[in-house]
Structure 1
Amino acid sequence: MRENGGVTSPSPRPWTTATSARPPRLIATDLDGTLLRDDKTVSPRTVAALAAAEAAGIEVFFVTGRPARWMDVVSAHLHGHGIAICGNGAAVVDLHGGPLAPRFLKVRELPAEAARSVVSALREAAPGTAFAVERTGGLHHEPDYPPLQLDIGESVAPAEKLLAEGAAGEGQPVLKLLAHHPALAPDAFLDLARAAVGERANVTRSSPTALLEISGPGVSKASTLELCCAERGISPAEVIAFGDMPNDIEMLAWAGTSFAMGNAHPAVHAAATLLTSGNNEDGVAVVIERILAEGL
């Protein structure tokens, strides 16, 4: 056992040539808590491993809950892989123009009517919830929504007004709702919200706080990654995925081979097929180096 960022986790299970039935064609990796270290940097070792994977013909996708404008953390390390799945699958973007000028290749929006229904359901189920609306052009939030990422809102108003006809940014698709509760435990809030929302939207979380991310029905990292792979003729058996939080679980279950980070949420450990080192120990790079060394 070892300690990683305050989380006790078992030693990584070894990678062997028998792990994957087919040579990998695509690596899908989460960012925060996975590819990025806790200081939000990409280590030189990880940069080198990603570049080596691409040189070997393996495509690399960043798959994150972050909006495109928060992709500056990897903008200096794009190399050939400028494609990212952002907003938990709500958008596929080409980052070669920079995080402030992303080119949206695919948008899977949360319809405004569904978003309003979700807000109503959560107001009833969890009084005190504060909301933000993530559109393709920026964030709009309620007065009580905490500045968790010091993100300046494009507009500030009750969620019902932010989602009404004629609201600021109305012509921009809604990528996701964010819902924060000041008192509930994160996993308890997630369970409550999923029960209250039902099939109207997909509810997940990636923050250590009680912050939920709510996308359109059926929209997830996994479903959008599946669409992108189908367009490239890549099967799940040819995909290796990495993640650490509940919003990664569907992606890890879909991929033929998946790795939970050593610092991952317990539910992620249960969903992944294998375990690698923690994010501060370059767990993604450890696996990529092993793959390339064994000639898979």
Structure 2
Amino acid sequence: MRDNDPVTSATRQPEPPASDQLTTSLASGGAAIVPPRLIATDLDGTLLRDDRTVSPRTVAALAAAEKAGIEVFFVTGRPARWMDVVSDHVHGHGLAICGNGAAVVDLHGGPGAHRFVKVRDLARETALDAVRLVRDAAPGTVYAVEQTYGFYQEPDYPELHMEAPDALAPAEELLAPGGAAAGQPILKILAYHPTLDPDGFLTAARLAVGERVAITRSSPSALLEISGPGVSKASTLALCCAERGISHEEVVAFGDMPNDVEMLTWAGRSYAMGNAHPDAVAAASGRTDGNNEDGVAAVIERLLEERA
């Protein structure tokens, strides 16, 4: 599938937070706001509290939004192989855009019954090129490979994830034709550096690869996420919305990290969490409370009040 990606990385100036930490474009006396038809929310650092739970208030707010006819999409950097865990967190809601836009998974049916609705994979040759270029730009970089179901890593890649890898080998071997990772589509490559500043590593990697791939980060450590060119949370969300006849003005988005920037920029209304990275704050049109203070629920409750 060929993508016409309308998303840019341009940022906008958010409104200053109000005393209750919740802002919207109505607060400045702007034009009438289009009623929302879809809520798109990140998970970690956004919808989930730091203990990885979803509060009863947030569960109630999501259920109220769906009852009011507003679709809810979970848009996460988490891989497709963790969707059983995500399903537990989101209490049976429907669709998740995972892997920073690399796949759309239908969560209906519960753990073990999920199915892929859309896959936007990273070509092996492109992945190998990116691995070489980033390693040249930042010697000491180590890699892991995320697939639709498999997970592979280099021997020196740290234990950052939930489970043991399916195999250990250099990335060049994993990605080679006939290698251990040859059986399934590649969703993204993870690149870790043990000593570099996370934002500095991101800048160096983006300069090294140009537009060959999309590179972002969502971790507080120097862990980068490499996807196919044009693949992001925003571009996949835009595709899903187009299939439903939903315009970007009808989308309300929430996020906290650099991998949310394009989505926050694209959505008609967007909110950076109180705990958000400065890049997410600059991209969003408003701010809300932090993830531990149910910032997503606070906005949804206000949105539903506007519709009343």
Q: TM-score scaled to structure 2, two decimals?
A: 0.89
**CA drift at 1:97:** 3.5
1:4 aligned partner: none
Q: Deviations over 1:17-52 (max 9, x none)?
A: 867621100000000000000000000000000000
2:215 is equivalent to residue 203 of structure 1 = yes
Change (3 A) 1:183 1:77: closer
- Identical positions, percent: 70
1:159 aligned partner: 171
2:156 is equivalent to residue 144 of structure 1 = yes
2:33 is equivalent to residue 21 of structure 1 = yes
**CA drift at 1:169:** 3.6
Letter aligned with residue 119 of structure 1 = V
2:52 is equivalent to residue 40 of structure 1 = yes
Change (3 A) 1:287 1:225: same
SS at match of 1:98: coil
C-alpha separation in 1, matches of 2:31 and 2:44: 26
1:242 aligned partner: 254
Letter aligned with residue 279 of structure 2 = A
2:307 is equivalent to residue 295 of structure 1 = yes
Aligned counterpart in structure 2 of residue 225 of structure 1, from 223, 234, 237: 237
Letter aligned with residue 160 of structure 1 = E
Letter aligned with residue 93 of structure 1 = V
C-alpha separation in 2, matches of 1:119 and 1:76: 34
1:282 aligned partner: 294
SS at match of 1:209: coil
Aligned counterpart in structure 2 of residue 84 of structure 1, from 73, 93, 96: 96
2:186 aligned partner: 174
**CA drift at 1:163:** 0.2
Change (3 A) 1:78 1:183: closer
Runs (4+) of structure 1 exceeding 4 A deviation are 17-20, 77-80
Q: Deviations over 1:168-219 (max 9, x none)?
A: 2412100000000000010000000000011110000000000000000000
1:6 aligned partner: none
SS at match of 1:224: helix
Aligned counterpart in structure 1 of residue 140 of structure 2, from 124, 128, 133: 128
**CA drift at 1:68:** 2.2
2:115 is equivalent to residue 103 of structure 1 = yes
Question: Quick check: 1:236–1:254 contact (8 Å CA) kept in 2?
Answer: yes
C-alpha separation in 2, matches of 1:124 and 1:284: 40
Structure 1 gaps of 5+ residues are 1-8
